[in-house]
Amino acid sequence: GGSFAAALKGTGAFPPMMVHMVASGEAGRDVPGMMTRAAEFLEEEFENATSTALSLMEPIIIVVLGGLVGMIVLSIMLPIIQLNTLALQ
């Protein structure tokens, strides 16, 4: 018999902004509209966080792959150079 916003808040699984928006929707008698706005807000927030995380990970991935390629090149070239120095002796 309680409010929908109170039930959402009681679970603890929803962000406070969404609970507040649902409570505002209940007060204005437009719960579906406010839930749609809350979903759009949360989707935009997720997109921003994801793009920020990916832009931070991009340089790290480039450095790691560069190190991997460098190790492969060294593992191929080092024996060739050692053979060359042994042949000159």
Q: Which residue has the tokens 């507040």?
A: 20
CA distances from 81 to 59, 69, 77, 84 (A): 32, 18, 6, 5
The model's pTM is 0.64
pLDDT at residue 52 is higher than 80: yes
Residue pair 4/31 in contact by the 8 Å Cβ criterion: yes
The total of structural domains in the chain comes to 1
12-21 residue pLDDT tens: 999 999 999 9
How far out from the chain centre does Cα 18 lie? 20
Range of the domain at 43: 4-88
